[in-house]
């Protein structure tokens, strides 16, 4: 069965088509600047018969439907297509950021599920509305094809009570579901599975710490293959400093800012989610730009990186303790975790007495697959395991539909 995996953003649509009989990637692509009347871009890559081909379309996509129509045209194109028609797609898997407590596993989309996604937008204002848009577009353009929603909060719903509860009045939890959910769960679940596979250990015996370092960043502590704790909380802003999100801050800052700056709840939320993090400190979100600025002597860029690394190290220390100082591995993943040797080295600096010994040469070597970047005598292996959320989503869709071909 072919599964189309969609990760719909507010002005973008990332997709992958996978043949799940062989778990091969047939094509992937990204449509950007959807809704921008002056320009739009769609990059479509195919991997048919082991040959890579890239196609680029540059023109405005007024709506998500228009972008998806172009994607379907490319998927079925006689020249660069990988399927004859859209009927060859057996299921569509959607990444959805927040599902709350109502959903603890991947589900077939129906009106009830859409309603949950809508209601949970309050906890994930950047992502849930865009994820729902992707589902609605798929329903319109692929009538009759099952849609499966895979929630980023799923992995975190398995946390123990003492990890997910906040010390607030208990009715906040009972009445409103205020608790830690743990986002990026699809990535963390996949990476835990891939780490166990790489180490040759049963997943149920894996104790590890995963650092998902991308534009959004989060960490999980894994015990016996399950999520023991997560840096992400009720929404997608707690924990690490991120590209545009502030991470953990003193909660008293929020009412203070609201009062002093006369901000509404929506405005203070926008400030924390979209104008903070590394963007708030130095005006940039992309780590490559930040490194270039640091090299040019920019003080604020240097401060942004220091804040980012410090937030990771503090969480790493906490999780190291939770695992009694003996994780099977610590793992870097996502855009920065996979590609940025400078950040990895800064995170691991001076941790040799704890048994974490980075191998500088291995850290500086770029390869595409999972790899070890610690020395042979490092008591705790330091790994780079590229995440594959799309494969995780497609596997869930296949499992739900109960047919792999």
Residue number, 91 or 150, with CB nearest to ligand AMP: 150
Residue number, 301 or 398, with CB nearest to ligand AMP: 301
Examine residue 134 and tell whether it contacts ligand AMP (CB under 6 A): no
Interaction mask 231-260, ligand AMP, x per CB under 6 A? ------------x-----------------
CA distance 380 to 53: 40
Q: What is the dihedral of CA 389, 24, 225, 364, to 10 degrees?
A: -70
DSSP 8-class letter at 29: E
Cβ neighbors of 66 (< 8 A, separation 6 or more) are: 34
Examine residue 392 and tell whether it contacts ligand AMP (CB under 6 A): no
CA distance 134 to 340: 31
User: Two tokens at 264?
Assistant: 């509404």
> Among residues 83, 137, 94, 138, which one has the least CA distance to residue 117?
94
Residue number, 328 or 390, with CB nearest to ligand AMP: 390
Q: Which of the following is catalytic: 19, 49, 152, 207?
A: 152
Interaction mask 269-308, ligand AMP, x per CB under 6 A? ----------------xxxx--------------------
> Among residues 82, 3, 87, which one has the least CA distance to residue 46?
82
Examine residue 215 and tell whether it contacts ligand AMP (CB under 6 A): yes
Indicate if 115 belongs to the active site: no
> Which residues ranging from 333 to 372 are in contact with ligand AMP (CB under 6 A)?
334-336, 339-340
Q: Are 337 and 210 in contact (CB under 8 A)?
A: no
Please give the C-alpha separations between residue 115 and each of 99, 118, 186, in angstroms, as whole numbers.
Answer: 10, 5, 21
Minimum distance, C-beta of residue 217 to ligand AMP, in the bound complex (Å): 8
Minimum distance, C-beta of residue 103 to ligand AMP, in the bound complex (Å): 23
Minimum distance, C-beta of residue 287 to ligand AMP, in the bound complex (Å): 3
Sign of CA dihedral 359, 362, 368, 369: negative
- Stretch near ligand AMP under the rule CB under 6 A, chosen from 5-13, 85-93, 174-182, 332-340: 332-340
Which residues are known catalytic residues?
Answer: 152
Name the site residues for ligand AMP (rule: CB under 6 A): 214-215, 243, 285-288, 334-336, 339-340
């Amino acid at each position: 069965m072919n599964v189309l995996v969609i990760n719909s953003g507010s002005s973008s649509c990332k997709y992958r088509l996978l043949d799940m009989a062989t778990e091969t990637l047939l094509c992937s692509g990204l449509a950007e600047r959807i809704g921008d009347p002056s320009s739009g871009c769609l990059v479509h890559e195919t991997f048919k018969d082991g040959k890579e081909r890239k196609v680029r379309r540059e023109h405005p996509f007024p709506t998500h439907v228009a972008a998806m129509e172009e994607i379907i045209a490319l998927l079925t194109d006689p020249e660069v297509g990988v399927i004859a028609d859209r009927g060859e797609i057996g299921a569509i898997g959607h990444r959805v950021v927040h599902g709350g407590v109502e959903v603890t596993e991947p589900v077939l989309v129906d009106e009830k599920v859409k309603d949950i996604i809508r209601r949970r937008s309050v906890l994930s204002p950047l992502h849930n509305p865009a994820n729902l848009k992707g589902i609605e577009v798929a329903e319109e353009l692929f009538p009759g094809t099952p849609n499966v929603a895979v929630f980023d909060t799923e992995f975190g719903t398995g946390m123990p009570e003492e990890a997910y509860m906040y010390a607030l009045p208990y009715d906040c939890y009972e009445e409103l579901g205020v608790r830690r959910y743990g986002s990026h769960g699809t990535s963390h679940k996949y990476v835990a599975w891939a780490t166990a596979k790489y180490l040759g250990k049963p997943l149920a015996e894996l104790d590890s710490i995963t650092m998902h370092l991308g534009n959004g960043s989060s960490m999980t502590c894994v015990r016996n293959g399950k999520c023991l704790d997560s840096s992400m909380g009720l929404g997608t802003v707690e924990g690490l400093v991120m590209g545009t999100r502030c991470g953990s801050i003193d909660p008293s800052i929020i009412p203070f800012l609201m009062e002093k700056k006369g901000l509404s709840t929506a405005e203070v939320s926008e400030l924390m989610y979209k104008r903070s993090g590394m963007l708030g400190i130095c005006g940039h979100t992309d780590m490559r730009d930040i490194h270039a600025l640091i090299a040019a002597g920019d003080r604020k860029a240097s401060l942004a990186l220091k804040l980012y690394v410090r937030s990771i190290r503090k969480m790493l220390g906490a999780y190291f303790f939770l695992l009694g100082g003996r994780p099977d591995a610590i793992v870097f993943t996502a855009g920065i975790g996979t590609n940025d040797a400078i950040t990895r080295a800064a995170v691991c600096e001076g941790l040799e007495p704890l048994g974490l010994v980075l191998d500088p040469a291995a850290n500086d070597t770029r390869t595409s697959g999972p790899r070890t970047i610690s020395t042979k005598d490092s008591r705790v292996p330091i790994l780079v395991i590229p995440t594959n959320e799309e494969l995780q989503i497609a596997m869930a869709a296949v499992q739900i539909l109960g047919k792999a071909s």
